[in-house]
Amino acid sequence: MIEHIKYDVLVPGTYFCDMVFTGLPEMPRTGADIYATGFDMVPGGTYYIVQILTQLGMRTAWLCDFGNDIFSKFIIDEAEKAGVNTSLCRKYDHPKRVVAASFSFEHDRGFVSYEDSEYKQPDLDELLKFDFDCYLAPGISDWHQIQVVDQHPYRSKFLFFMDCQHTTLTLKTPGIADALQKIDIFAPNECEALALTGENNVLRALDQLSEIIPTVVIKRGGKGSVVKQSGRQWTVPAITANVKDTTGAGDSFNAGFLYAYLAGKPLDICLRYGNVTGGLSVQNTGPMQCVDINLVHEMVNNYSQYSKI
């Protein structure tokens, strides 16, 4: 190991500079000039989970790419304000623009995105520079990276957590099922789980994924979340929330869930933490400016007061 600092979570992946349009009267479509009632420009991509993990007190290694463009500078400035460590990120003397226009509704959101160049996943030599308890893969589109992580000589000593994100891949795609067997926790949202498995029922999708992956978490937005591990299943309702922007809700959930999981909490309590951080995130545009850890604990401990029971 070259890096002597022990990190709780290592997060590889690109930032996004999200331009978020809210209060839209209908879905964007060709031939129509639609006006939003709200707009903001906020950090996105892997920034969401890195910021929340950091504010929850987790020592987080962020492997992101930045350039000399205004969008990179904006994200770095926002990260510094939030106390996010960018010292491990790759910095280039040319543009690394990664932008997205987000149209957000109460139950889902869509994006139009652009990036100057594709993010380069860390190779094994780069990963060996760090000592970490959890490797967090932000999406299944980089599934070939699973093999790289699985070759790590200390693989048995860290947790491998993977989100899903939108993808055209399915379990029938050659190599996908075999690759997913190598991760420890998989956390798609409901739409992603249904699309990946080809099921039309979330519990059947959960069962199918659980035959491949030891622990499967499915995020269901306003319907809460469900997890299955070793044949046992836990379901926890969502908290009541005044939804303003759902962008980043899944990443926010992941941060809360991982915070509790790495602390050794029971799985139903992990779902509570995920639901709380995810639920709090949708009540403002973009990442939460400040994660009040005491409020998170209070809401988890008195969950019935805040949940949709």
**pLDDT at residue 184 greater than cutoff 70:** yes
Task: Please compute, for residue 202, the number of CA atoms within 13 A of its CA located in the half-sphere on the CB side.
Answer: 20
**Per-residue pLDDT at 1:** 46
- Using an 8 Å Cβ cutoff, are 210 and 201 in contact? no
Predicted pLDDT of residue 260: 98
pLDDT of residue 108: 64
pLDDT digits (tens, 9 = 90+) for 284-303: 766 676 788 999 999 999 99
pLDDT of residue 85: 93
The span from the CA of 298 to the CA of 294, in Å, is: 6
- 294 alpha carbon, distance to own chain's centre: 22
User: What class, spelled out in words, does domain 6-29+36-107+122-305 have in CATH?
Assistant: alpha beta
Instruction: Give 185's strand partners.
Output: 161, 215
- Look at residue 271 in the predicted model and tell me its pLDDT: 98
Q: What is the pLDDT of residue 286?
A: 64
Percent residues over pLDDT 70 in the chain: 95
CA distance 256 to 273: 5
How much is the pLDDT for 103? Answer: 82
Among 164-173, 211-220, 273-282, the range with the most confident prediction by mean pLDDT is 211-220
Which run of H or of E encompasses 60?
A: strand 60-63
3-state helix, strand, coil in the chain (%, to 5): 35, 25, 40
Strand pairing report for 6-12 and 131-137:
parallel
Kindly list the strands in the beta sheet with 15-22, ordered across the sheet, starting from the edge strand earlier in the chain: 38-45, 15-22, 98-104, 109-115
**Confidence label for 244 from pLDDT (cuts 50, 70 and 90):** confident
> What is the C-alpha to C-alpha distance for residues 171 and 174, in angstroms, rounded to an integer?
8
Separation of alpha carbons 165 and 193, rounded Å: 10
Write out pLDDT tens, residues 143-173: 999 999 999 999 999 999 999 998 899 999 9
Lowest mean pLDDT across 38-52, 243-257, 284-298: 284-298
Domain spans, the chain: 6-29+36-107+122-305
Torsion of CA 20, 24, 27, 33, to 10 degrees: -100
Average pLDDT, the chain: 92
- Residue 24: band (very low, low, confident or very high) from pLDDT cuts 50, 70, 90: confident
Torsions phi, psi for 152 (to 5 deg): -60, 130
- For 63-85, what is each residue's pLDDT tens digit? 999 999 999 999 999 999 999 99
Q: What is the mean pLDDT of residues 110-123?
A: 91
